[in-house]
Amino acid sequence: MRIVTSIAELKGIHVPGTSLVPTMGAFHEGHLELMRRARHDADCVVVSLFVNPTQFGPDEDFAKYPRNLDQDAALAESAGVDVLFAPSVEEIYSPAPTLIYVPEVTALWEGAFRPTHFQGVATIVLKLFNIVAPKRAYFGQKDLQQCLVIRRMVRDLNVPVDLCFEPTVREQDGLAMSSRNVYLSSEERAKAPLLAATLDSAAKALARNQEDPSSVLLEHQSRLSSAGFETDYFEWVDLEAMHPCRSSDTPSAVITAAKLGRTRLIDNKILGNGRLI
């Protein structure tokens, strides 16, 4: 595996049919599963590792985000990655960079709680697509709104890349794997699986279609509040614009973001077969 830090060097080793996995590092099984999937589908796998400053708000954890290049490089190599692209901030951004704005799907949920977040995500992902020129790119359904934002950007801007969205990898107790789980105290970690269990229970109740959806959502949200979660939102949304949804006729998901102490967790449950396409 080659570790590359410059855009010029990366462009020099471009292989047609490359697969790209964009990440911010601190690899866990969720990341490694995306890499293995990409390895299975392509001749050349590029993983980008870049803690992207433009997607963090001023009061967020950019400075303390976990970073460990040596460990990440060893894990990426074990997953069969060919190139780990780990540029500096200066290599990627000019002092006042052009930023990409994706409408509608960014308006609510993470877009409302983290107002500049998706602008940063769309910008770095488009830049990586232009730098790596992959045939396919892999993203995790764990960040469902991010998947929909990228899908919309790719459609609207005619970006020649195939998007692959992969299921959320979970700990044995159901907690979605996340680089930020290391922030949880042991007491918070013990409570954290309730988030996924509550999403599952709400999704089942909504799919049964026997109770008023708003009551189902409220009842499940209050289960989380009673257990000590501070929920930013707990909603049933469609899988296009992420508008609130009240019928299981269209593809949909239950989504939530909730704080446990100072750690903010996000998770979702897609109704039906659990896959975003």
Binding site residues, ligand AMP, CB under 6 A: 23-24, 30-31, 34, 139-140, 142-143, 166, 168-169, 176-179
Cβ-based nearer residue to ligand AMP, 56 or 139? 139
Q: State the minimum distance, in angstroms, from the CB of residue 210 to ligand AMP.
A: 31
Is residue 14 part of the annotated active site? The answer reads no
Cβ-based nearer residue to ligand AMP, 135 or 142? 142
Q: State the minimum distance, in angstroms, from the CB of residue 247 to ligand AMP.
A: 27
Residue 224 near residue 265, CB atoms below 8 Å? no
- 116 DSSP 8-state letter: T
Contacts of 59 (CB under 8 A, 6+ apart): none
Residue 136 CA, chain-centre distance (Å), reads 16
Cβ-based nearer residue to ligand AMP, 36 or 213? 36
Q: Count Cα neighbours of 155 within 13 Å in the Cβ-side half-sphere.
A: 10
- Residue 191: name the closest of 224, 166, 164, 158 by CA: 224
Query: Which tokens in the block code for residue 74?
Result: 């060893």
Q: State the minimum distance, in angstroms, from the CB of residue 99 to ligand AMP.
A: 18
Q: How would DSSP label each residue in 7-46?
A: HHHHHHT--TTEEEEEE-S---HHHHHHHHHHHHH-SEEE
Cβ-based nearer residue to ligand AMP, 61 or 232? 61
Cβ-based nearer residue to ligand AMP, 69 or 218? 69
Choosing from 31, 40, 117, 243, the catalytic residue is 31
| Interatomic CA distance for residues 246 and 250, integer angstroms | 10
Which residue number places its CB atom closest to ligand AMP? Answer: 140
- β-partners of residue 230 are 259
Query: Which tokens in the block code for residue 48?
Result: 């980008």
The residues annotated with a catalytic role in the active site are: 31
